[in-house]
A and B are shown apart, each in its own frame.
Chain A
Amino acid sequence: MYENNDPSTLAYVGKSVLRKDTGEKLTGTATYVSDMVLPGMLYAQVKKSPHARARIVKVDTSKAKALAGVRAVLTGDDLDYRIGLYIVDKNILAKGEVRHYGEAVAAVAATSLEIARKAVDLINVEYEVMQPVLNHMDALKADAVLVHPDLGSYEFIEAAFTPVPKTNIANWTKLRKGDVEAGFNEAAYVVEREYDNPSVQHVPMETHVAIVRWGARDKVTIWSSAQSPFTVRNLFCHTFALPLGNVRVVVPAVGGGFGGKAGIHLEPLVACLSKQAGGLPVKLQASREEEFSLLPCRSALTYRIKTGVAQDGKIIAQKMEMFWDAGAYADYAVNVTRASGYSASGPYEIPNAWVDAYTVYTNKPYGTAYRGFGHVEFHWGIERHMELVARTIGMDPLEFRRRNALHPGSITLTGEKITSHTGDVVACMEAVARSIGYGKLTAAEKKRELASGRKIGKGIALLQKAPAMPSNTATAAVIKMNSDGSVTVNIGLTEIGQGSTTALAQIVAERLGFDIANVHVMVDKDTESDPYDWQTVASKGLIMSGNACILACEDLLRKGYAVASHVLKACVEDLAHDGENVYVRHDTENCIPWKSIAIGYAYPDGKGIGGPLIGVGSYIAQGLSNLDKQTGQGKPALDWTFGAHGIICEVDPVTGEYVVRKVASAFDVGKVVNPALLRGQIVGGMIQGLGTATCEGYIYDDAGHLLNPSFTDNKIPTARDLPMEIETIVVENSQIDGPYGARGVAEHPMISVAPALGNAIQSAVDADLAHMPIRFEDVWRAMHDNHPIDNWITKTPAGSCRSDPAARIHTPDSAISP
């Protein structure tokens, strides 16, 4: 929806309007599912597997069932439903076999949390422990244990995914553009390397929680801390073969999501417990520990990149192989693989490209969506690799990026042509370079180095991301006028903290010309009363729901004008309006207040006309297509948002300790709708990115037990972990089909923080880092060319069981051919 976005004409768009949801959130009165108690409500608890892979020999629930207060006990044998977003591979409770540490094996519902916990303790599960496959590279070997021997029989979405039966490959995404081999032959340099990321946890402050009541005649009501109520409803109905009208999903305030609450999680299990308990509502809230292993995480990634570069620094060919560790179930990981596959090069033009992206099953907690949807992980590889290639060919890393960055006329990996209104990644790069004084140290910095004994380094990394969503993703908005002339806006998009409620209120107030105090965007979501929205994910909320809101405003005004034209006895074409009245342009005193027509106008003689004014706007992504499964060609992206981070860090050259002095972040957002909200997204995302860059990550022992499922040993950034200086920069090249020119930017701030830091550390002390996170010890080891510690699977207390060294490539020098 291209609107006039000249700042001088805008009342709300572009202003730091205060949030609409703070009255409740600041006073402790906002209701989260965590806070809800329903009459007769039961409390559920889950019996979890202590093993990574084991045959379930016997589950004895007799003692639990006998405990007073227990109303329902379920095991895998009691249930015959499988769930899955894209590949239907997961039982609600493990059947026959457990596939990861922390998997649900049995569940109970009881009249109190204490009784439920006691009952779970009384369930006795006999296991036959089996050898797990833990490392995703090992899982690709010919003789690897199969996590899902029946993969070939599973239902899956064929248009987008390619599971490989009789292997651990849940999906294989291919992309072929040009002729890579010819490109490598032509290249002056070929540089090849491998980069790693661990699994990490989203850490929403509110853990997953759901209340379900399975009522008479299979009427089911679900209250869930979820990002996507309509997806929960659709998948739930699919699993239980229920009509959509039978199931109502309610989402009140949500204590953070970050992708972890995008799909369907606790709801089916809680529903089964409610059904067994005779329809009483049942509540299950994950403990923080369960959040780490009962619920999903972000997939680990091993990324191999081979790049052929011409003498002048132009990339000619690039072969990219991604090995995504799905863990035990495919969930979102297969789609992360797909989305990362078509974006794998980052914001660079690669004339000859080859991508193989695999989603690999292992016996570990499974991966799901996480802010950035794969892009945080693979940009670590790409943006460290760009640095390595630039250094190898003796070119300034910034110049190397500039030569290869997407620009108007460039063709992306999938064959899409970049235009002047797609966004400008080079402008972002140059903005952050200026902000950090890239490429040299100031006199003050040199003095600081001498005084402190620490080395100062500066690094930059670029990024891109488009929403990863079906080509026909749709949403809608309904705007209802109240009898006081105010409007109430219903959208299916959830408010998980990102501030959409406020940004959309601004768009509605702007488009209607109303005072924003008279625009109410509903925060609580209900699939029975709100219009459909696909999901609250993918940084598509502002652009898609924003467009839907604009269309709904148009519809509302049209309907209002139709009534007003009768009342005012004027042509619709002669009408105009402000926040109070509809009036005749050439006779402004001939007007009618909105509130007089809001629910229908009554003539002085009592006759009525009109009726409640309701504007409806539907918006569907346009011009997108499925990708060809053999070549990956097609148009997957509604909007590309480009950005860059620049980091100044200070590294102790002896110990590897470092501090981040400054982070500058720039994004081409199209149009800023709310500067304060945007800064909150940028800084919040950047700090989350810094957390995964510096300290977060799952650590397992060699039996597949998760060793750090809590805040004791999985730290996240605190208020003390901020860089000393933060600069947030915006570039505004309007998105032609975005509301007021805006495009999405919710996930992007998290992407490429880690490689910017890695590049800065390398420039400071020449530590060559290929794996995340970058702990002080990693820097210390890299400085001394020691083997990196195997981060993610360690023996207790020391040692490792990393994959076969022959299967890995850690020799950039030997891989460079002249």
Chain B
Amino acid sequence: MIHRFSYTAPTELTDLLALLETAGPGAKLLAGGTDLLVNIRNGLVKPNTVVDVKRIPEAHAIMSDNTKGLRIGWAVTINDILKNTDIASSYQLLQTCAHDLASYQVRNRATVVGNIVNASPCSDMAPALLCLDASIEIASSKAYRTVPVRQFFTGVKRTVLNPDEMVIGITIPIQSKGAKGKYRKLKRIQGHDLGIIGVAVAQVGDGMRIGVSSAAPTPVATGNLPLDISVSDAIAVVDALISPISDVRCTKEYRRFMVSEFTRRLLVEVRA
């Protein structure tokens, strides 16, 4: 890397938030680094300070209880999700999506929060989090707020975060516990690849929800659909949500077709 920056690794959240307030937009948070470090290498991001957020113990916590649901700390990695037995038994859709994200050694580094904060349209975790109605916990040195994940993304690579704010956790409500769902990602190869499109279908309580990645400027999801919604109605709802583009991975026609087709198949599978 040619770009020079300073590096700091606070060990207390309050220090980290204070730093964010003073550092301004020149500070970039480093969690897994799987996006940030590539972007610095490619000259797309030129931070003056890189703030390592992993040295604070609570960053790595996964907490599951029977009243508040599931809480994922800001530096929990994708493989942490895959190895967690509570998530395996109660929030299986998260694991299904996590499992399709990149390669094993990338999953050792990449974080769930990073996958959301990066706000890529092809986020693999977003369809699950959208379907499971996750809340994003946002903190600054002055304030704390939560934002439903469906309001978190504002555009390609854009979120509601202010420069002095950071995501400190993701909460999945207890109502989503036990949801059953499936995720299907269209890739160019069987091995690790960014999604051409991805569709998650989940039965959460008495509703059906469908989340889609790589088919709109942000990951998108339907609201609570009736459990017995017809396949054609569900497809119509999803089709209205998406606005795919053509790029080097695929044309928009095929993207639209495949979102419908995956929706159709996953609805049948989830109901089975």
Q: By the criterion CB–CB under 8 Å, are B189 and A777 in contact?
A: no
**A715 proximal to B (CB < 8 A):** yes
List of A residues within 8 angstroms of B103 by Cβ:
718
Q: By the criterion CB–CB under 8 Å, are B191 and A798 in contact?
A: no
Q: By the criterion CB–CB under 8 Å, are B192 and A655 in contact?
A: no
Docked CA distance A794–B252 (Å): 13
**A114 proximal to B (CB < 8 A):** yes
Q: By the criterion CB–CB under 8 Å, are A797 and B188 in contact?
A: no
List of B residues within 8 angstroms of A657 by Cβ:
186
Docked CA distance A712–B44 (Å): 16
Known contacts being A114-B2, A715-B193, A718-B190, is A798 close to B261, with CB within 8 Å? Answer: no
**B248 proximal to A (CB < 8 A):** yes
List of A residues within 8 angstroms of B186 by Cβ:
657, 776
Residue count of chain A within 8 Å CB distance of chain B: 32
**A763 proximal to B (CB < 8 A):** no
B3-49: which have CB < 8 Å to A? none
**A713 proximal to B (CB < 8 A):** yes
Q: Which residue of B lies closest to A707 (CB)?
A: B248
- Min Cβ gap A158→B in Å is 42
- Min Cβ gap A710→B in Å is 9
The winner among A715, A780, A796 for most chain B CB atoms within 10 A is: A715
Q: By the criterion CB–CB under 8 Å, are B188 and A780 in contact?
A: no
Docked CA distance A777–B194 (Å): 16
- A to B contact number (C-beta, < 8 Å): 60
List of A residues within 8 angstroms of B257 by Cβ:
655, 780
B205-242: which have CB < 8 Å to A? none
**B61 proximal to A (CB < 8 A):** no
List of B residues within 8 angstroms of A776 by Cβ:
186, 254
Q: By the criterion CB–CB under 8 Å, are B191 and A708 in contact?
A: no
Q: Which residue of A lies closest to B103 (CB)?
A: A718
- Min Cβ gap B22→A in Å is 28
List of A residues within 8 angstroms of B189 by Cβ:
694-695, 715, 717-718, 720-721
Q: By the criterion CB–CB under 8 Å, are A797 and B246 in contact?
A: yes
- Min Cβ gap A807→B in Å is 24
**A806 proximal to B (CB < 8 A):** no
Residue count of chain B within 8 Å CB distance of chain A: 22
Docked CA distance A718–B2 (Å): 30
Q: By the criterion CB–CB under 8 Å, are A777 and B254 in contact?
A: yes
- Min Cβ gap A558→B in Å is 54
Docked CA distance A713–B196 (Å): 11
Q: Which residue of B lies closest to A701 (CB)?
A: B248
Docked CA distance A694–B190 (Å): 11
**A164 proximal to B (CB < 8 A):** no
**A654 proximal to B (CB < 8 A):** yes
**A421 proximal to B (CB < 8 A):** no
Docked CA distance A655–B265 (Å): 11
Docked CA distance A721–B103 (Å): 13
Docked CA distance A715–B251 (Å): 17
Q: By the criterion CB–CB under 8 Å, are B250 and A777 in contact?
A: yes
Q: Which residue of B lies closest to A697 (CB)?
A: B248
List of A residues within 8 angstroms of B188 by Cβ:
694-695, 715, 775
B68-107 interface mask toward A, CB cutoff 8 Å, 1 = contact, 0 = none?
0000000000000000000000000000000000010000
- Min Cβ gap A474→B in Å is 42
Docked CA distance A657–B193 (Å): 15
**B65 proximal to A (CB < 8 A):** no
List of B residues within 8 angstroms of A26 by Cβ:
none
Q: Which residue of A lies closest to B264 (CB)?
A: A654
**A669 proximal to B (CB < 8 A):** no
State the main secondary structure of chain A at its contact with B: loop
**A71 proximal to B (CB < 8 A):** no
List of B residues within 8 angstroms of A159 by Cβ:
none
Known contacts being A655-B258, A776-B186, A780-B254, is A797 close to B191, with CB within 8 Å? Answer: no
**A109 proximal to B (CB < 8 A):** no
List of B residues within 8 angstroms of A655 by Cβ:
257-258, 261
**B56 proximal to A (CB < 8 A):** no
List of B residues within 8 angstroms of A20 by Cβ:
none
Known contacts being A654-B261, A720-B190, A775-B188, is A699 close to B248, with CB within 8 Å? Answer: yes
**A213 proximal to B (CB < 8 A):** no
Q: Which residue of B lies closest to A708 (CB)?
A: B248
Docked CA distance A789–B2 (Å): 39
- Min Cβ gap A294→B in Å is 16
A645-657 interface mask toward B, CB cutoff 8 Å, 1 = contact, 0 = none?
0000000001101
List of B residues within 8 angstroms of A238 by Cβ:
none
Docked CA distance A118–B194 (Å): 31
B158-196 interface mask toward A, CB cutoff 8 Å, 1 = contact, 0 = none?
000000000000000000000000000010111111100
Known contacts being A114-B2, A707-B248, A797-B245, is A721 close to B261, with CB within 8 Å? Answer: no
Q: By the criterion CB–CB under 8 Å, are B248 and A713 in contact?
A: yes
**A719 proximal to B (CB < 8 A):** yes
Q: By the criterion CB–CB under 8 Å, are A718 and B191 in contact?
A: yes
**A304 proximal to B (CB < 8 A):** no
- Min Cβ gap A69→B in Å is 13
Q: By the criterion CB–CB under 8 Å, are B251 and A789 in contact?
A: yes
The winner among A707, A797, A799 for most chain B CB atoms within 10 A is: A797
Q: By the criterion CB–CB under 8 Å, are A118 and B261 in contact?
A: no
- Min Cβ gap B237→A in Å is 20
**A117 proximal to B (CB < 8 A):** yes
A689-725 interface mask toward B, CB cutoff 8 Å, 1 = contact, 0 = none?
0000011000100000001100011010111110000
A785-804: which have CB < 8 Å to B? 789, 794, 796-799
The winner among A121, A713, A719 for most chain B CB atoms within 10 A is: A713
Docked CA distance A781–B251 (Å): 11
List of B residues within 8 angstroms of A718 by Cβ:
103, 189-192
List of B residues within 8 angstroms of A659 by Cβ:
190
List of B residues within 8 angstroms of A794 by Cβ:
246, 248
B258-272 interface mask toward A, CB cutoff 8 Å, 1 = contact, 0 = none?
100100000000000
Q: By the criterion CB–CB under 8 Å, are A798 and B245 in contact?
A: yes
- Min Cβ gap B164→A in Å is 31
List of A residues within 8 angstroms of B251 by Cβ:
777, 789, 798
Docked CA distance A695–B189 (Å): 7
Docked CA distance A655–B191 (Å): 19
Docked CA distance A780–B247 (Å): 17
List of B residues within 8 angstroms of A797 by Cβ:
245-247
A414-431 interface mask toward B, CB cutoff 8 Å, 1 = contact, 0 = none?
000000000000000000
Q: Which residue of B lies closest to A45 (CB)?
A: B2
Q: By the criterion CB–CB under 8 Å, are B191 and A720 in contact?
A: yes
**B145 proximal to A (CB < 8 A):** no
- Min Cβ gap A18→B in Å is 29
List of A residues within 8 angstroms of B194 by Cβ:
712
- Min Cβ gap A485→B in Å is 47
Docked CA distance A657–B187 (Å): 10
Docked CA distance A694–B257 (Å): 20
Q: By the criterion CB–CB under 8 Å, are A117 and B248 in contact?
A: no
Docked CA distance A712–B254 (Å): 20
Docked CA distance A600–B189 (Å): 61
Q: By the criterion CB–CB under 8 Å, are B191 and A713 in contact?
A: no
Q: Which residue of B lies closest to A722 (CB)?
A: B190
Q: Which residue of A lies closest to B43 (CB)?
A: A121
A234-273 interface mask toward B, CB cutoff 8 Å, 1 = contact, 0 = none?
0000000000000000000000000000000000000000
The 26 listed contacts between A and B (C-beta, < 8 Å) are: A117-B2, A118-B2, A655-B258, A655-B261, A659-B190, A694-B188, A695-B188, A695-B189, A713-B248, A713-B249, A715-B191, A717-B191, A718-B189, A775-B188, A776-B186, A776-B254, A777-B251, A780-B254, A781-B254, A789-B251, A794-B246, A794-B248, A796-B247, A797-B246, A798-B251, A799-B246
Given contacts A777-B250, A789-B251, 12 further A-B contacts (CB under 8 A): A121-B2, A699-B248, A708-B248, A715-B188, A721-B189, A775-B188, A776-B254, A780-B257, A794-B246, A794-B248, A798-B252, A799-B246
Q: Which 10 A-B pairs have the closest CB atoms?
A: A718-B191, A798-B246, A720-B190, A720-B191, A117-B2, A777-B254, A695-B188, A699-B248, A721-B190, A715-B189
Q: Which residues in A have some Cβ–Cβ distance to B below 8 Å?
A: 114, 117-118, 121, 654-655, 657, 659, 694-695, 699, 707-708, 712-713, 715, 717-721, 775-777, 780-781, 789, 794, 796-799
